[in-house]
Structure 1
Amino acid sequence: MNRKTLALPAIAGLLAPLLAACGSDTSGAASGSDIVVGTTDRFTASEESPAPFDPAYAYDSGVWNVLRQTVQTLTRIPRGGGRPVPDAARECRFTDSAGQSYRCVLREDLVFSDGRPVTAGDVKYSIERVLAIDSDNGAAGLLSTIDTIEAKGYHEVVFHLKTPDATFPYKLATPVAGIVSSDKYGADELRTGFQVDGSGPYTMRPHVRDGRLVGVTFTRNPRYKGDVKVRNEGVELRSFDDAEAMGEALESGDIHMMTRTLDPDQIEKLDGDPREGVKLTEVPGLEIRYLVFDTEAPAVREKAVRQAVAALVDRHAITRSVYGPTATPLYSMVPSTIATHSNSFFNKYGEPSRDRAAALLREANVDTPVKLTLHYTTDHYGAATAQEFAALCDQLNKSGLFEATAVGTEWSTFRPAQKRGEYAVYGLGWFPDFPDPDNFIAPFLDAGNFLNTPYVNKEARERLIPASRRETDRAAAAAPFQRLQDAIAEDVPFLPMWQGKQFVASRDTLTGVEWALNTSSDLQLWELGRGTA
């Protein structure tokens, strides 16, 4: 997603009332029959971030992976990708040729996990609630094309859109459009703590230790009605401090699968020297990594400075030395495996060149060396991030044109500081909300973007993004997407670095592993089963 971003560390004394309210169990123990899945995602709450699992606030891949198990959406992306299919709905479709009226009819006898009926009114309430709260951390921007929502009786809901939006069915498949009950989620306030309630495939029980969510027990929801086939009775998601600890738990048999984030060294070892009883599975992925420039910060306000960085960076050297076969260089914010991708940065800057970078700075009368501080998060994307930024600084400094240093900060501090505009240059990763080129462009360039970036491209917001959304055949949107990618390469508010490959390691007695993560890194725990793979 986030895709995406979130969760901050606990402040002493704050969480006790929150956790008591949601009835959390601090034992961390799961049923012996549960499948246990490891992750390095961290889930915390604080005074600044008290509601990490509220759909109106959450915008992080790890958090969304909890919500997807518990909160149902009208549509969902099928296991093999492609166009969204109905989930809480039994049918959904555009009812006009312009693509501005979208109608869904709910399944019969749909209920929340506590037995309360799910109605069209609940759908309307849930999405209007997200738009009304409009959290600066949340994903309300995904729903920005909604004008009004009409609930017709108990089962029919109609979305009237401000402008045509062919991507709208995809957006309804994301947790920001999750259906919640007004009994549990207030209309104008966030739900604090870690508890999540919905009508999804599982119910959940959080396990909390020292103010941090260390695990979640998901139990099959017997009342679930939807498109998903649940292949197990329960799964425990267990959070680890790092990939090494998670790997040791897999080898010892304490967990059955490890997902994000495996370190590149782990992947290479498991691939070249498989452990008995453990298998490595590569699944298609669309993760990207990129730099962001605060275009109002004095150090990088001059476009030539940003362009010079783009001309110098050697992506091949970084991916080869740091990530090996787990990443490939990327020359656009749109991944190379997505239709309408263009190598815009390579087309403009070519191979890394000190001479080209020097000429850009000289023509703009920029004094060198330019001092830059590159910020990154130490604990959100894996340990290799520090190596990547060290290599990046080394490239810039060896040119003599820059004097760059890298500063690493824990995610809990990094994300709030980034939103406040405290960093001139920083690195982030993006896991798409849905597999469409729009989701690699609009969240960064559209009004209300999740980065709170000061960069504004009027042509992108007023003409190109709306034009791309009018095309139901996404390949037909190639022209506006080409222009959008070229505009980013010209102004360099963002600098794409690399596209990642996605791997899962598991015990060989676990089935369904190949479907456990989709291309957007959505965790699909319902696909997992026990047996011989």
Structure 2
Amino acid sequence: MNRKTLVLPAVAALLTPLLAGCGGGDDSRAIVVGTTDRFEATEDAPAPLDPAFAYDTGAWNILRQTLQTLMHVPRGGGAPVPEAAQSCGFSDKESESYRCKLREGLTFADGTPVTAADVKFSVERVLAIKSDNGTAALLSNIDTVETRGELEVIFHLKTPDATFPYKLSTPVAGILSKAKYDGKALRAGFDVDGSGPYTLKTEVSGDAVTKFVFTKNPKYQGDITLRNDKVELRSFADAAAMDKALRADDIDMAARAMSQPQIKDLTEKPQEGINLTEVPGLEIRYLGFNTKAPAVKEKAVRQAMASVVDRGKLIEQVYGPTAQPLYSLIPSSVTGHATSFIDTYGEPDAAKAAKLLRDAGVKTPVPVTLNYTTDHYGSETAEEFEALGAQLNASKLFDAKIKGTEWSKFRPAQKRGDYAVYGLGWFPDYPDPDNYIAPFLDSDNFLNTPYVNQSVRDRLIPQSRRQADRTAATPVFEQIQKIVAKDVPVLPLWQGKQYVAARDDVTGVEWALNTSSDLLLWELGRGTA
């Protein structure tokens, strides 16, 4: 959203930090951060940290520390600003030509110069590989990439796109060296080479990472200020194990993802030496549908589920004050939000759902399996799906079963279309309404869904991207949300808050996790908070 405008008003209000830290200290010990994100190389996903494949928050949080992008979202949010670039901007009124000039003297961590040719190579590589993970969709509007000399690169777009600066700030546009990466094949394993603020070493057990060690890159030149020399990111099996490590002083900060009981306990029974911080969040959770699967192919089945699900009861039972009901793909705190699902279906109503099924000639109870991942979104996911299944079964209209699968197998199966109904979460690539619509409904989308609405793809999404003033695109997004509520290719459930717990000698905690759940590890330091 460079577009020469301010950040979205609704988002801007969220970006004010709730806790201001000061200090900085000279302590050179590595700051140790815990996460429940899992990092595995599997047969289906052998290249989890290749920017042409990686498309989940955990992997992007590794890439953001090690790769540079031309642009980045600054501390506290707002419109993207130059990072590896010295300057960037649209060179035409139609937002179809975007020109960037690299900083002079920029090098990769090994000392090799970073040139415009590397930028061109990196972007064209993503589009050439076009992995089935949906990553390339962020850059699919690029028609050609032109270089002028060693430092200037120009992106010629197929259609106007005011969100393009945001897309250049994501790891999919990370700058790679032609000498280190194959232009036509993914790079297997966990090695990452770039020009970002840190270099990376990885500790692996079997096919899974146990620890990432980020060390300050002495050759880094960019817009980011590092407040530490080294950070370790340790992966834990679950929130309980991470919490135990924090309380034992084995880690300095617990980030993604703290459990609701853990947050409740630290709120009601504060522990000396540990501070709990709520930070703005734009995460959403939803049910997705394979609209070609026999169980849910009939639209009335999906509409009946939308009529039965009680979001308020679900949240009260499982998540408490850490979540709120969501009645659209676009969260309530983002400009363009509408309450399309409650407008269409009203409060949960089994009688209305029964009529939908009866009018469509669907025999009840409808057998459905609700698939979820056991180890990607937190320990409450199983409880959430048990509650969803119970709600559907209580209506007597569904015979719902639930099935949990580890993420390394769940995601490939979902992309193949193995699941008729599945649960996923979405952390935005950038805080713009476009990023809650296009990844689900545009071509080459993240879900690999068979659902296609040509009006949305060919007319409404391109129309929304022409608006440099994003509030002016609200009517278009409202139209799209009405279509989603009518066809129900996805069923929004809730949007969440974010929490971070840290030892009280760690500073910068309030800046270290932004609204998109990006870990900005360079913000952390030691001192007096």
Q: What is the match of residue 60 of structure 1?
A: 56
SS at 1:43 equivalent: coil
Shift of 1:108: 1.0
Q: Does the Cα contact within 8 Å between 2:162 and 2:466 map onto a contact in 1?
A: yes
Q: 2:376 & 2:42 partners in 1: Cα distance? A: 17
Q: 1:53 & 1:354 partners in 2: Cα distance? A: 45
Q: 2:73 & 2:190 partners in 1: Cα distance? A: 25
User: Is 2:204 the counterpart of 1:217?
Assistant: no
Question: Which aligned pairs between 1:221-370 and structure 2 lie closer than 5 A?
Answer: 221-370=217-366
In structure 1, which of residues 459, 466, 472 is the aligned counterpart of residue 468 of structure 2? 472
TM-score scaled by structure 1? 0.94
User: Is 2:391 the counterpart of 1:388?
Assistant: no
User: Is 2:127 the counterpart of 1:154?
Assistant: no
Question: Which aligned pairs between 1:81-92 and structure 2 lie closer than 5 A?
Answer: 81-92=77-88
Q: Does the Cα contact within 8 Å between 1:256 and 1:506 map onto a contact in 2?
A: yes
User: Is 2:32 the counterpart of 1:41?
Assistant: no
Q: 1:209 & 1:377 partners in 2: Cα distance? A: 22
Q: What is the match of residue 485 of structure 1?
A: 481
Shift of 1:211: 2.5
SS at 1:408 equivalent: strand
Q: 1:147 & 1:412 partners in 2: Cα distance? A: 33
Q: 1:320 & 1:502 partners in 2: Cα distance? A: 17
String of CA shifts for 1:463-509, please: whole Å, max 9, x gaps.
00000000010000011100011100000000000001000010011
Q: 1:58 & 1:400 partners in 2: Cα distance? A: 41
More displaced, 521-530 or 292-301? 292-301
Q: What is the match of residue 179 of structure 2?
A: 183
Q: What is the match of residue 415 of structure 1?
A: 411
Q: 2:205 & 2:302 partners in 1: Cα distance? A: 44
SS at 2:49 equivalent: coil
Shift of 1:113: 0.6
Q: Does the Cα contact within 8 Å between 2:372 and 2:403 map onto a contact in 1?
A: yes
What code does the residue aligned with 1:235 have? V
In structure 1, which of residues 194, 198, 204 is the aligned counterpart of residue 190 of structure 2? 194
What code does the residue aligned with 2:481 have? Q
User: Is 2:418 the counterpart of 1:455?
Assistant: no
User: Is 2:127 the counterpart of 1:131?
Assistant: yes
SS at 1:104 equivalent: strand
Q: Does the Cα contact within 8 Å between 1:368 and 1:402 map onto a contact in 2?
A: yes
Q: Percent identity?
A: 65
Shift of 1:48: 2.4
Question: Which aligned pairs between 1:18-37 and structure 2 lie closer than 5 A?
Answer: 33-37=29-33
Shift of 1:32: 7.5
String of CA shifts for 1:64-96, please: whole Å, max 9, x gaps.
000000000000011111100000001100000
String of CA shifts for 1:4-38, please: whole Å, max 9, x gaps.
xxxxxxxxxxxxxxxxxxxxxxxxxxx98100000
Q: What is the match of residue 435 of structure 2?
A: 439
Q: 1:455 & 1:188 partners in 2: Cα distance? A: 29
Q: Does the Cα contact within 8 Å between 1:58 and 1:138 map onto a contact in 2?
A: no
Q: What is the match of residue 375 of structure 1?
A: 371
User: Is 2:140 the counterpart of 1:144?
Assistant: yes
What code does the residue aligned with 2:76 have? G
Q: Does the Cα contact within 8 Å between 1:40 and 1:243 map onto a contact in 2?
A: yes
Shift of 1:138: 4.6
Shift of 1:450: 1.5
Q: 2:43 & 2:296 partners in 1: Cα distance? A: 33
Q: What is the match of residue 204 of structure 2?
A: 208
Q: 1:493 & 1:161 partners in 2: Cα distance? A: 29
Q: Does the Cα contact within 8 Å between 1:375 and 1:426 map onto a contact in 2?
A: yes
SS at 1:480 equivalent: helix
What code does the residue aligned with 1:263 have? S
Q: 2:33 & 2:146 partners in 1: Cα distance? A: 40
Q: 1:233 & 1:247 partners in 2: Cα distance? A: 25
Give the alignment's Cα RMSD to 1 decimal. 0.9
Q: What is the match of residue 398 of structure 1?
A: 394
Q: 2:354 & 2:61 partners in 1: Cα distance? A: 45
Q: 2:493 & 2:160 partners in 1: Cα distance? A: 32
Q: What is the match of residue 96 of structure 2?
A: 100
More displaced, 133-142 or 82-91? 133-142
What code does the residue aligned with 2:438 have? A
SS at 2:319 equivalent: helix
Q: 2:408 & 2:525 partners in 1: Cα distance? A: 34
Shift of 1:413: 1.3
Q: 1:345 & 1:78 partners in 2: Cα distance? A: 34
In structure 1, which of residues 114, 118, 124 is the aligned counterpart of residue 114 of structure 2? 118
Unaligned runs of 5+ in 1: 1-30
Q: 1:451 & 1:354 partners in 2: Cα distance? A: 29
What is the number of equivalent residue pairs in this alignment?
503
- Runs (4 or more) in structure 1 with deviation over 6 Å come to none
Q: What is the match of residue 12 of structure 2?
A: none
Unaligned runs of 5+ in 2: 1-26
Q: Does the Cα contact within 8 Å between 1:318 and 1:391 map onto a contact in 2?
A: yes
Shift of 1:112: 0.4
Q: Does the Cα contact within 8 Å between 1:56 and 1:138 map onto a contact in 2?
A: no
Q: 2:160 & 2:499 partners in 1: Cα distance? A: 37
Shift of 1:389: 0.6
Q: 1:366 & 1:451 partners in 2: Cα distance? A: 26
TM-score scaled by structure 2? 0.94
Q: Does the Cα contact within 8 Å between 2:28 and 2:229 map onto a contact in 1?
A: no
Q: 1:372 & 1:51 partners in 2: Cα distance? A: 33
SS at 2:34 equivalent: strand
Q: Does the Cα contact within 8 Å between 2:42 and 2:408 map onto a contact in 1?
A: no
SS at 2:203 equivalent: strand
Q: Does the Cα contact within 8 Å between 2:368 and 2:398 map onto a contact in 1?
A: yes
SS at 1:345 equivalent: helix
What code does the residue aligned with 1:96 have? D
